[in-house]
Amino acid sequence: MHSLEKLRWIIDREIEKMDFAGRQPAELYSPVEYILSNGGKRLRPVLALMSCRLFTHDLTECVKPAAAIELFHNFTLLHDDIMDQADMRRGKPAVHKKWNENTAILSGDAMVVLSFNLISSAKPEILPGLLSVFNTTALEVCEGQQMDMNFETNPNVKENEYLEMIKLKTSVLIAAAMKIGAISARANDRDCELMYESGLNLGLAFQLQDDILDLYGKQEDFGKIRGGDILMNKKTILLIKALELADQTTAVSIRRLMNEEQDPGMKVGEMKKILDRLEINLIAWKMAEGYFNKAIRKLYETNSDKAQKNEFADFIHSVMNRKS
């Protein structure tokens, strides 16, 4: 039986084996080491290992693919921070702020190659399945990021459009992690797909929760500026639902806050008052909770160890109750 701490340790040890501190040129690898050691929870690789553990006690063949997921995820964060011009990541300066944008771009590119190296080391009998999932997911993440960028100039993003975007940008990587775990354990096709569907729903819930925590979480817990999405006029589920449910006068107030120069503190405060009045926090949380519950239902449909399913469900509940 592996505890969550043990699973995180397994991933950390695999990443440490790559010895980024000893690689040259240091200007390329130091940012990689920095972001990978910057307090991440290792959610995605832990999900991969937990998925593998549903079907086998031997996690050996899942370790490198799980580490590949973590490298790829951190690459996306590194590039996202550049595109969003976000100064902080996990409570510390983002890579492009600590170094510069060119260094951050190149280090991110290196992380993609390193992640594919890890996946490619899998045994021949599972390699095609792993590569298929990983390649499809890598492209979908790029598609989701482009959709997110398109939303910046679209004043009328709809809920279904937003859910499709976060599915591609965030959810598919969590789904891929869980399917990769099942593939590594030689699970059958049905169980692999059920793990993928569970991960998709978990990922949607996780991102909706992220939207909520950006405004309603504590800055010291969340590691970002409180209300950062509002300051950047990002079309999150909070804003989309507010515009959908607001009367004409309130909608005009929302768009004025988005379009006119405002004192940052005043802008966040005024927008929060509107969201609170419309009870958007409760609406968004119910949506997230629905996806969390779907994730658990799909998990229990798999033909896998019941005790491990119960532990996995407990872990999903702990994600539901996170503060950061």
Q: pLDDT tens across 107-131, in order?
A: 999 999 999 999 999 999 999 999 9
DSSP string, 158-194: -HHHHHHHHIIIIIHHHHHHHHHHHHHTT--HHHHHH
| Cα(260)–Cα(283) distance, integer angstroms | 27
Give all strands (DSSP E) within the chain, no chain letters: 88-89, 92-93
Cα–Cα distance, 279 to 238 (Å, whole number): 10
User: What pLDDT is attached to residue 189?
Assistant: 98
Neighbours of 160 (CB within 10 A): 9
pLDDT bin (cut points 50, 70, 90) of residue 221 is: low
Domains of the chain: 4-320 (1.10.600.10)
pLDDT one-digit tens code per residue, 61-79: 999 999 999 999 999 999 9
Task: Give 12-70 pLDDT, tens digit per residue.
Answer: 999 999 999 889 999 999 999 999 998 788 999 999 999 999 999 999 999 999 999 99
